[in-house]
């Protein structure tokens, strides 16, 4: 149970519907807001060491990225 102070906030019907849809049984709206808020401020370093694929797959993805970069053409804009 939460012992924090209660706050009144205003939400659009759409925002409330989304929040309610994200709420699982047994969760409070505070739990849902905390879960959503904590996932939006992740540090990129949290991903370090998480790759579970093989080296061949990583090499293939890297090649695709570099191939796409080579296809990209810069345009000159005159003002």
| Average pLDDT per consecutive 10 residues, the chain (79 residues; last block may be shorter) | 75 92 92 82 79 89 91 79
What angle is formed at CA 71 by the lines to CA 70 and CA 76, rounded to 5 degrees?
A: 95
Q: What's the confidence (pLDDT) of residue 27?
A: 93
The position carrying tokens 């849809």 is 21
Q: What's the confidence (pLDDT) of residue 13?
A: 93
Q: What's the confidence (pLDDT) of residue 7?
A: 83
Question: Of 20, 46, 40, whose CA–CA distance to 31 is shortest?
Answer: 20
Q: How far apart are CA 48 and CA 2, in angstroms?
A: 34
Q: What's the confidence (pLDDT) of residue 73?
A: 76
Q: What's the confidence (pLDDT) of residue 45?
A: 83
Q: What's the confidence (pLDDT) of residue 77?
A: 80
């Amino acid at each position: 149970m939460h012992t924090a102070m209660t706050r009144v906030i205003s939400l659009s019907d759409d925002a409330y519907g989304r929040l309610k849809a994200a709420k699982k049984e047994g969760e409070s709206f505070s739990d849902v807001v905390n879960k959503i808020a904590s996932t939006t401020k992740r540090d990129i370093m949290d991903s370090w060491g998480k790759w579970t694929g093989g080296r061949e797959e990583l090499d293939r993805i890297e090649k695709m990225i570099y191939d796409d970069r080579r296809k990209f053409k810069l345009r000159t804009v005159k003002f």
